[in-house]
Amino acid sequence: MVNAISAVLITVSLLASVWALVLIFLNRSVRPDHKLGLWLMYLIAVFMVGLLVQAVVGIVNLIATDRELHGATFVGYLIAPLLIVPFAGFMALAERSRYGPAVLMIGCLSIPALIVRMHQLWAGHA
Amino acid sequence: MPDTSAEATRSGPGRLLIAVYAIFALAATARSGVQLVTKFEHAPLAYLLSAFAAIMYIVATVFLTRGDDRSRLIAAGSCLIELIGVLVVGTASLLAPQAFPDATVWSEYGKGYGFVPLVLPVLGLLWIRHLNRR
């Protein structure tokens, strides 16, 4: 698997989580009507593009490889972030309190766990 | 006014609770689905328990989102079953590890998922109690 993509994605997810944490402390929502909320949403959009690239590269690698691994589970770990991040994003936008960024933070923090599991599966100890 | 009471259930801390429940519903459903279809014979008890946990997470997610008085009761019921499940399965997995050749969501009190499966039903019950006291 491409380690550089994963490293970038984990970094972006942690950055977005810290950003969300700042909004929680400032008692702000993730509404796009103020700059901190708007920029966080831009970052989430970039994150989504990265996750999409990871999914495409991962599936291409899965097709090309001749190693033994559980394909369905592997694809599951690639697809799940594409569901979780937009879901958390829309739920966060619907919330007008500081619990909005909290939702987004939980969504972002779950992604590194999925990426690490995906790598364990690829490396053959799952 | 059922609409405002339902809105109260899914706003603020409720929204965070529902988000975590939804992620767990997705994770547990996908995981147990793959396990049941591809290697059921390997650890039937563990995989059936994971599937049961998945259903409880779906029930909690759906009825917390609906949020009216009766839905709260059903959500509280699913939280209670989860709590009993994680305590019983957690204890059983430590006392009789040979019965669980593969991990369930609730093994070792949800250790593999950062103990969230243990904390989540407690938070769910506290949230519903808080709502009903208002």
- Tell me the domains of chain A and their CATH numbers: 3-123 (1.20.120)
Please report residues of A whose CB lies closer than 8 A to that of B20. 106
Q: Are B23 and A105 in contact (CB under 8 A)?
A: no
Kindly report the average pLDDT of chain B as a whole number.
91
B23/A100 touch (CB, cutoff 8 Å), yes or no: no
Residue B9 makes CB contacts below 8 A (sequence gap 6+) with B64, B66, B67, B68, B71, B72, B128, B131
Distance CA B41, CA A5 (A): 37
What's the confidence (pLDDT) of residue B3?
61
CA distance B90 to chain A (A): 21
Q: What is the pTM of this model?
A: 0.92
Better-scored residue on pLDDT, A66 or A85: A85
For residues A106-120, average pLDDT: 94
Closest-CA residue of B relative to A103 is B16
Q: Which domain holds residue B54?
A: 4-132
Question: CB-based contact (8 Å) between B13 and chain A?
Answer: yes
Task: Tally the domains of chain B.
Answer: 1
Distance CA B60, CA B65 (A): 8
Q: Give the model confidence (pLDDT) of B87-106 as tens digits.
A: 999 999 999 888 887 888 89
Given a cut of 80, whether residue A27 has pLDDT beyond it is: yes
What's the confidence (pLDDT) of residue B4?
83
B12/A76 touch (CB, cutoff 8 Å), yes or no: no
